[in-house]
Structure 1
């Protein structure tokens, strides 16, 4: 963009490119500030000038508030070497992040997300920490800080799927409780608490029964519908011919892994509300859960059936949910139950209603695909999205790393 031409004469492409370049320069300048701040703190120059600490000096020389001063100092100390009072030099906690910030590839908020993610994983060894940092930086190259925060929950599963070793005092029984009071008139009041898998089972059992009547004359409130649904579930349980009298079935789990991987106890399981499980949790559930086998074709793709209809049939919808798990647009965390079935090749242009031509998209991203320059395509049976040139000049295809299979740690 010309520096002399008025802004109103610049094209949209030039304006967008100029903003991108300015943001890169802004981040590089911020990286320089942190580097200088780290050096100032390591020298102890603040006390030489009569200040109690470096943050107090920053407030006066930069005219920022105390919160910002402390924030910059904390970032500087994590991204650069620090010197102890005895003169020992401690390596930086996040050297790769410091380099990425210096190149203008990430911003201050990205740095905060990466710092918090690594701080929440204190059990990782040096190699695992470096791997986790690089995984986060790879995602930061495409994601905004909020999306990066959502992805952060998966980092542990990528670099350390088994998690930290259990503590000696780790509770062996799930945290469940039920307090009930039988009134004189025979009615019952109760309160309680359910752990993750029991809560998932409870929700899945209630949902089909608590919907309003389809006739449209249902005057019940949500609490009344839930109460009726609970009673219906109890009736079903009472009439179930194979319900055990003790130690009933805990949950049903759809495991999207091969039979050999299941035998090897590797992890790629997810509950129907897209709650991820660690390898340890998956193995624990598999010990006494009812496993639902999902028939998969080559490359772990659920088998589909050709149906010449626009509306996605229930059996293909189930396979679509099993594959995508939620909105398939990059960095979107919307669950499958609020998503539409999007035809990658439009149905009116001959696109079939088959799994290989469908992708789950939330309402926002469904509209974006139809009304913007983002493009969707299927690659190896999974949806990928090509950003417009103003988002990524190379137009490198992207996919959702929140819902999708965990990337390799190699």
Structure 2
């Protein structure tokens, strides 16, 4: 492959073009199969089982593709394949005719993207109108490239299936300039919605801006970057010496459990009266306040020691000077939002010492704890060994962005 064989150069021009067309049809059929695998992996939660926050992040590491390409492939997989919800309900593909044409090698990847986007803009129409739009686009796809197909959709198909456009939104109730609505779910995660006046909005955006900087190989989308940036701002606010107190104390979260139980408990075991698993609690303990307590026979506290940091301030300063930021390969997150991670975990006897600690941002800290990524220090440099599904040879990698 890559060299012109004796067979290739003997082909005349028409035969050569026929071979190119045949290979293109094969690529399209292979892409349809690829999307079916992706749809199954995404529905099954394969990425989460392997320690990744989402399927795009897994694809970036295993296929060495960009976040944009990973997101597009997942969008195609969702649109062209039926999906089964956790309750067992089957959600039909949104563009089933396109799926059949791609499986036969009769539409290109660019045409699939045009049809997917156009159909997604018609969700306010009845299903028969949406199906008609896909039929018209599929018929035209036999002679139009993606750009021409998109123009045909907007100028012709939309006039046929959606001549009036989306109905106007007449519901415009008066709302205060600032509001924040929060809802905490049973598993502990929080959803919120709100609005800010113009002055506060500028302050809010300026606070987030340094933390949501886009990185070339970042698997997160715009919303995910914003969420992580918001968490970073909250973390820095929590460390502010001027943080207001409640009943004379700064905000703390206490989990009462014996040290031996926390060390030996199964990773997926949920701690009593919490939504935290043992693995999550051990990760948090990598860089958190530890409050020693002596309990009586009826679990009554007899003595409470003064809080101490698992990672003392002088050791954290040494980590910042050495690592300069998150040590995970290609990550640009600064030290100010990075956690201290024990290479040999503390529950396995790992010491809280500079030569057993590295800085990791929240996202990569979770990844290292959940997955088969391994880290070791050599000559004060953190080296990471990827899982075999990322690199079968498991070649070590390091972060070259925080140069000393």
* TM-score, normalization by structure 2: 0.39
Higher relative CO (Cα under 8 Å, sequence separation at least 6) belongs to 2
TM-score between the two structures when normalised by the length of structure 1: 0.39
